[in-house]
């Protein structure tokens, strides 16, 4: 037998070639179906039985391993060992004496190819062989590029080079810049409606995308123009003419590069195919050189790659292709799963028969319950279905599938953290064998990661799972360069991001102090601009920062200095992106700071070794990411020596998918991995949580339509487009998109070995929310839900049981899903510390006294090894009847977190609850005593604020002291005094968009004394100051500005019909209502003070809200208008008079066409004369009281202090236990 020696290893060379020397240390990325190697963490796919020397395969896999004659298609679902079988087949060929360089293994993705190469090397060495040559594991572009380079070397020509995306964009934008303003200055002849977009970066990107899609499918300029004329698209013939010019420019550049041909990624594979077809001798030599060809991930290939495969491995050669049609999730890269269906007839045997097909139907990953759920979703997938009928191993545990919905993303994250901690603490699942999958990195990953970290769940996001520009250490550097080179990009949002980044190092307190300092300095100089504008100006010109406390100014000074350094470095002649980046990096001091954290970092006060280690790991990852950024800058500079730094930024920021990184080589420790479903392909974990499965996010059915219609070109060439039928084309595109999203969800749920958790938010039932969310349709497709087990069905409950869930595994009958008898724990402290599912597993009638839910499939603590249900399970309902509606998913309440603070809180609730049984209270007291003895914060009664007397029970205002009352606050104080109190002392929310628009209209109204006011001047005033309003979203600018202008017009029309004469605008007043016990200082400002025909004073209050109109009954005693009349009667406007003629609200903000005036009669007339002054005094008594009442009213829905309100569902925990328990049993 021929011997070989291994020359490349991921984990070092094999020691002596023995069977034990081939383990692979890095399991960060892998392909589906591989054996578990190394330690804990994500494994490389299904686990095949071992026989001591290698992997033992079943009969079907043995047939594939032994196949060497002609083409074969191997179909298998997730976890059936496809890639493991491929590895075994390659090892078998090497064992038979085939040179590894005569075995070509093609796969999708560079990282996948690296992992597969490492596994093949490890597998070969386990048989005692030594490999002299590296196995040929390549991606299609890598193989094509190697073929072109080898052919050029044989002909004595310069080596070809790969044209990068930035270089393509640079050439395209240079050609587009030639186009003049006039049609005769346009050599290409672009359509008129596209001409304004020609010089934009987005148009260049979309044009490159169209050219790449055409190149991938072999469409040249002539064919592209013909298709455009046929479909009535004037842009495609223009793009065809541009393509000719683009190709000519590339040819000239090739000549200037001494004949080195540049290929863009789209034409690389087709260029290799064309080369082989044109050079018969080269094709014959290549086919003779390749003895066996193996293809992994056939479903992710595009037409050009299949064409290359047919050239090198067609005609009956030894070719084995592995595929799972349901795992094709890269259509946006040109992948077409239809290649799986056509493979047997396209690749025929030497005799002309279709290729043999083999089905792998044994799942080495999941048990029957998991497979059943996956199969239910699989029935919705299109295409062949035979490979979906999977059978588990005979001794495989059933597995658990849980579907949960929540009222908010916060509740979802809390439940998810509880589920992960339960699996780790109770079931013993290592952190590294759990993963959380999401659909969108930008939308979901940061929030979820923060929530899990706050709950004590260690998480890790591998650098290879994020595009380079999204990695935490790289993003601030790129943002700083962008703001330095394009000053208009430096707005308030960017400035705050830089201040809080590692470059500035500010915390929220420092930012607030900085804002306050800048604001004080500005006001002293008469500058009334908002603090956000002042921060931006300070970063551009840091001189103002010299007058601010050094502690708060340092972050801004550091960022301003780095911005100046970046601008100076970029302005130097010949400066490259690498030079500018190095100047900023050197001045930032981050290298020394992070290196110190890694090598000499010491824990801060109160920190232990764990905190120090995590700091060092974070610094290590950040340095890895920055090194990758510098490497990208160096490669960019080598390829485009004259390109400006702005082009490099465009290149990096345009990366939507992960790029190369050395970060995976670092040891991440034990942590739950967070990643996208795309990145999870080929991996598996014991527990997989798929979070945020919302309609609109998953599936995301937004049509990725482009201006130039590159997706339409793909549909036309694939036969999915109907001539002239726009609606049918949209339906077809949406259907194809839904298929891809469903396949992606199928990939996500099939990553679990033992337990699958799927969660979403259902917030529609809350009411009045502008951001309602619905669970995805995929949750319903996953299978029927099992209703929660009612408390009565679980049998009697021991009322003396200690708080917290019962410990020990709870068995479940796989047929009925009913729970077995729980087993008791070994000690009280262990019982309590195992965690209580106070909200999630119990009904309001049993509460925490019952411990964990009696239906273990509904809570997050069920053990996957204890025999799980075959039914799809769901969370407990929250008692609102939501789960009773047909098709509705029950809503889960987040349980008590498995943390010491949460445990202490539950025990304290139990011991202080007068309705709790005496036995339960005694048990809680014993547990608290043990925790207090161990030094757990909050466990000792001395730390309980609730047991202490009130620090001050005096009224808010001492008797005899004046009470300050403002008319605008009267209504709030009388409606709910608690809300008024909390808002006055910091509980008010930020200024809303509507309030900002209203303030602007009020300011404009000061310029309109009567109907003769200049409308144009008023509108110019509004337009000039509109940008200072904080908008919730940019799209609101247009509608809100139109609304403000409409209110100005309503005001002018109202002034034209107003019979009264103006006395003052925005007039301030202050008057005291004397009282021996409690004098009242009534102060405020009136919008307009007018006089009627009888000489009486009338106060006008302008209302700009959409729903501020009041009923006739409310108007008669409207508090704010009454306060104005009381001020008139008390002499607040003595220079104008002291007789009140009433007051009025002028509604400008309602949807009515004209302003509506609502008049309140004079307070001094009629039998109730003096009511206004009495109302002010009653308000003063309310504001000065010692207690403040919470009153339910129509404004509770928008109350900013709901979480502190005892009558609100969100704040009821302030005054009462979270659950109500029945009386103690006799």
Residue 1037: enclosing H or E segment and its boundaries?
helix 1037-1057
| CATH of the domain spanning 963-1189, picked from 3.40.50, 1.10.760, 3.90.320, 3.10.590 | 3.90.320
Residue 309: enclosing H or E segment and its boundaries?
helix 303-313
| CATH of the domain spanning 400-462+668-780, picked from 3.40.50.300, 3.20.20.70, 3.40.1550.10, 3.40.109.10 | 3.40.50.300
DSSP readout, 512-564? HHHHHHHHHHHHHTT----HHHHHHHHHH-GGGGGGS-HHHHHHHHHHHHHHH
Q: What is the DSSP letter of 605?
A: T
Cα distance between residue 47 and residue 680, in whole Å: 17
For residue 947, give Cα distances in angstroms to 608, 924, 951.
Answer: 33, 17, 12
Query: What is the model's pLDDT at position 134?
Result: 64
Cα distance between residue 287 and residue 1034, in whole Å: 59
Q: What is the mean pLDDT of each run of 10 residues along the chain (1226 residues)?
A: 31 34 31 34 43 60 89 90 89 86 85 81 75 73 86 79 68 76 74 80 78 77 85 84 80 57 74 87 88 87 86 88 82 70 87 89 89 88 83 89 87 89 90 90 76 82 61 83 87 88 83 84 81 87 83 88 89 83 86 73 48 67 77 70 73 57 50 87 91 85 68 71 58 75 89 92 55 79 54 36 36 32 32 34 33 35 36 38 50 78 86 87 92 87 71 83 91 90 81 84 88 88 82 76 91 92 91 85 92 92 85 86 92 90 91 90 78 91 89 84 79 55 42
Query: What is the model's pLDDT at position 56?
Result: 60
Q: Is 81 annotated as a binding residue?
A: yes
Query: What is the model's pLDDT at position 870?
Result: 37
Query: What is the model's pLDDT at position 266?
Result: 66
Query: What is the model's pLDDT at position 876?
Result: 36
Cα distance between residue 290 and residue 991, in whole Å: 70
Cα distance between residue 1043 and residue 1034, in whole Å: 15
Q: Is 873 annotated as a binding residue?
A: no
- 675: nearest Cα among 440, 354, 927, 395: 440
Q: Is 785 annotated as a binding residue?
A: no
| CATH of the domain spanning 468-665, picked from 1.10.486, 2.40.128, 1.10.287, 1.10.3470 | 1.10.486
Query: What is the model's pLDDT at position 721?
Result: 59
Query: What is the model's pLDDT at position 992?
Result: 78
Q: Is 146 annotated as a binding residue?
A: no
Query: What is the model's pLDDT at position 802?
Result: 39
Torsion-angle region of 4 (φ positive above 0: left; ψ -120 to 50: alpha; else: beta): beta
Is the whole model's pTM more than 0.85, yes or no?
no
- The residue to which tokens 């509904």 are assigned: 858
Task: State both tokens at 322.
Answer: 């592995």
720 Cβ partners below 8 Å, 6+ apart? 732, 733, 736
Cite the DSSP H helix spans in 475-507.
475-485, 492-500
Query: What is the three-class DSSP state of 987?
Result: helix
Fold of 28-158+268-365: Rossmann fold (3.40.50)
Question: How many of the other CB atoms lie within 10 Å of CB of 287?
Answer: 17
From edge to edge, which strands make up the β-sheet containing 292-295? 136-139, 103-107, 292-295, 319-323, 71-76, 356-360
Q: Is 12 annotated as a binding residue?
A: no
Cα distance between residue 1104 and residue 558, in whole Å: 43
Task: Give Cα 781 distance to the centre of its chain.
Answer: 24
Cα distance between residue 849 and residue 58, in whole Å: 51
Q: Is 77 annotated as a binding residue?
A: yes
Q: Is 1106 annotated as a binding residue?
A: no
Query: What is the model's pLDDT at position 111?
Result: 73
Whether 862 contacts 400, CB under 8 Å: yes
Q: Is 886 annotated as a binding residue?
A: no
Query: What is the model's pLDDT at position 784?
Result: 56
**Could you write out the three-class secondary structure of 383-413?**
CCCHHHCCEECCCCCCCEEEEEEECCHHHHH
């Amino acid at each position: 037998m021929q011997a070989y020696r291994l020359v490349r290893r991921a984990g070092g060379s094999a020691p002596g070639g023995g069977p034990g020397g081939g383990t692979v240390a890095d399991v960060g990325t892998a392909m589906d179906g591989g054996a578990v190697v190394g330690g804990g963490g994500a494994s490389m796919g299904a686990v095949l039985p071992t026989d001591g020397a290698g992997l033992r395969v079943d009969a079907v896999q043995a047939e594939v391993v032994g196949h060497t004659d002609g083409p074969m298609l191997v179909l298998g679902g997730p976890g059936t060992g496809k890639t493991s079988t491929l590895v075994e087949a390659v090892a078998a060929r090497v064992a038979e004496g085939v040179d590894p360089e005569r075995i070509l293994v093609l796969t999708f993705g560079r990282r996948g190819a690296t992992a597969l190469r490492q596994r093949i090397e490890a597998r070969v060495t386990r048989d005692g062989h030594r490999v002299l040559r590296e196995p040929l594991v390549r991606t299609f572009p890598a193989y094509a590029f190697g073929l072109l380079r080898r052919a050029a070397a044989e002909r004595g020509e310069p080596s070809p080079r790969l044209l990068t995306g930035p270089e393509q964009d640079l050439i395209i934008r240079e050609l587009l810049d030639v186009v003049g303003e006039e049609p005769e200055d346009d050599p290409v002849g672009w359509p008129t409606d596209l001409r304004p977009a020609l010089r934009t970066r987005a148009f260049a990107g979309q044009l490159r995308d169209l050219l790449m899609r055409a190149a991938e499918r072999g469409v040249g300029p002539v064919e592209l123009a013909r298709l455009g004329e046929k479909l009535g698209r004037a842009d495609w013939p223009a793009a065809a003419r541009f393509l000719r010019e683009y190709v000519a420019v590339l040819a000239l550049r090739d000549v200037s590069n001494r004949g080195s041909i540049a290929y863009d990624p789209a034409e690389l594979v087709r260029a290799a195919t064309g080369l082989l077809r044109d050079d018969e001798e080269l094709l014959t030599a290549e086919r003779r050189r390749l003895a066996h060809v193996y293809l992994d991930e056939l479903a992710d290939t595009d037409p050009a790659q299949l064409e290359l495969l047919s050239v090198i491995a067609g005609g009956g050669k030894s070719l084995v292709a592995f595929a799972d049609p349901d795992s094709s999730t890269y259509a946006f890269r040109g992948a077409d799963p239809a290649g799986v269906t056509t493979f047997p007839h396209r690749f025929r045997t030497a005799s002309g028969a279709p290729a043999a097909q083999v089905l792998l139907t044994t799942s080495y990953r999941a048990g029957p319950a998991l497979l059943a759920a996956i199969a239910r979703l699989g029935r919705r997938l299109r295409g062949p279905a035979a490979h979906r009928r999977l059978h588990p191993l005979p001794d495989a545990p059933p597995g658990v599938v849980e579907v949960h919905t929540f009222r908010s993303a916060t509740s979802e994250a809390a439940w998810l953290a509880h589920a992960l901690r339960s699996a780790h603490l109770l079931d013993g699942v290592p952190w590294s064998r759990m993963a959380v999958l999401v659909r969108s990195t930008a939308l979901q990953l940061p929030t979820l990661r923060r929530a899990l970290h706050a709950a004590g769940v260690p998480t890790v996001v591998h650098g290879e799972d994020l595009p380079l520009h999204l990695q935490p250490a790289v993003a601030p550097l790129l943002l700083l360069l962008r703001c330095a080179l394009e000053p208009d990009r430096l707005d308030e949002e960017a400035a705050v991001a830089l201040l809080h980044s590692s470059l500035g190092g500010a915390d929220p307190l420092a930012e607030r102090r900085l804002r306050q300092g800048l604001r004080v300095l500005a006001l002293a100089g008469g500058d009334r601009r908002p603090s956000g504008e002042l921060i931006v100006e300070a970063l551009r010109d840091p001189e103002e920062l010299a007058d601010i406390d050094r502690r708060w100014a340092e972050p801004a000074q550091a960022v301003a200095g780095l911005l100046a350094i970046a601008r100076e470095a970029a302005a130097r002649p010949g400066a490259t992106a690498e030079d500018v980046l190095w100047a900023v990096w050197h001045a930032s001091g981050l290298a020394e700071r992070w290196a110190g954290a890694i090598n000499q970092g010491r824990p801060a006060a109160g920190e232990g070794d764990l905190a120090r280690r995590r700091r060092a790991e974070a610094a290590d990852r950040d340095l890895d990411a920055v090194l990758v950024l510098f490497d990208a800058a160096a490669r960019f500079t080598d390829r485009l020596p004259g390109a400006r730094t702005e082009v490099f930024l465009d290149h990096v920021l345009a990366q939507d998918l992960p790029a190369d990184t050395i970060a995976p080589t670092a040891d991440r420790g034990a942590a739950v991995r967070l990643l996208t479903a795309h990145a999870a392909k080929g991996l598996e974990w014991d527990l997989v949580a798929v979070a945020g499965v919302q309609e609109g996010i998953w599936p995301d059915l937004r049509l990725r339509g482009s201006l130039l219609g590159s997706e339409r070109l793909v549909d036309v060439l694939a036969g999915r487009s109907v001539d002239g039928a726009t609606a049918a084309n949209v339906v077809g595109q949406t259907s194809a998109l839904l298929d891809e999203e469903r396949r992606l969800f199928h990939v996500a749920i099939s990553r679990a070995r033992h337990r699958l958790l799927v969660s979403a938010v259902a917030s529609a039932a809350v009411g009045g929310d502008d951001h309602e969310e619905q669970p995805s349709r995929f949750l319903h497709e996953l299978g029927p839900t099992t209703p929660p087990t009612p408390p009565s069905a679980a049998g009697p409950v021991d009322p003396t049981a200690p708080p917290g869930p019962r410990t020990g595994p709870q068995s479940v009958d796989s047929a009925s899903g009913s729970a077995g008898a729980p087993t008791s724990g070994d000690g009280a402290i262990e019982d309590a510390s195992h965690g209580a599912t106070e909200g999630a597993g119990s009904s309001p009638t049993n509460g925490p006294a019952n411990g964990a839910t009696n239906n273990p499939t509904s809570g997050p603590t069920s053990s996957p090894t204890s025999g799980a249900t075959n039914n799809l399970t769901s969370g407990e309902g929250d008692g609102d009847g939501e789960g009773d509606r047909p098709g509705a998913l029950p809503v889960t309440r987040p349980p008590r977190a498995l943390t010491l603070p949460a445990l202490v809180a539950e025990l304290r609730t139990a011991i202080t609850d007068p309705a709790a049984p005496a036995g339960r209270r005694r048990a809680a007291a014993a547990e608290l005593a043990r925790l207090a003895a161990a030094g757990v914060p909050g466990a000792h009664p001395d730390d309980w604020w609730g047991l202490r007397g009130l620090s001050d029970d005096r009224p808010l205002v001492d008797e005899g002291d004046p009470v300050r009352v403002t008319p605008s606050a009267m209504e709030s104080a009388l409606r709910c005094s608690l809300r008024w109190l909390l808002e006055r002392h910091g509980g008010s929310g930020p200024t809303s968009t509507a309030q900002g628009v209203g303030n602007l209209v009020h300011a404009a109204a000061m310029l309109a004394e009567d109907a003769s006011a200049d409308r144009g001047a008023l509108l110019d005033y509004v337009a000039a100051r509109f940008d200072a309003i904080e908008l919730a979203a940019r799209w609101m600018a247009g509608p809100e500005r139109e609304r403000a202008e409409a209110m100005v017009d309503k005001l002018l029309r109202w002034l034209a019909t107003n019979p009264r004469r103006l006395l003052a605008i925005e007039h301030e007043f202050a008057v005291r209502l004397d009282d021996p016990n409690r004098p009242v200082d009534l102060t405020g400002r009136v919008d307009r003070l007018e006089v009627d025909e009888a000489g009486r004073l009338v106060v006008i209050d302008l209302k700009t809200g959409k729903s501020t109109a009041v009923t006739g009954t409310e108007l008669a005693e409207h508090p704010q208008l009454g306060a104005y009349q009381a001020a008139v009667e008390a002499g607040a406007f003595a220079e104008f008079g002291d007789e009140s003629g009433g007051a009025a609200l002028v509604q400008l903000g309602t949807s009515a066409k004209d302003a509506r005036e609502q008049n309140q009669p004079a307070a001094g007339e009629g039998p109730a004369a003096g009511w206004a002054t009495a109302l002010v005094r009653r308000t003063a008594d309310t504001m000065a009281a010692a207690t403040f009442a919470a009153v339910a009213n129509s404004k509770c829905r928008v109350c900013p202090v709901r979480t502190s309100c005892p009558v609100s569902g969100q704040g009821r925990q302030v005054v009462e236990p979270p659950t109500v328990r029945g009386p103690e049993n006799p």
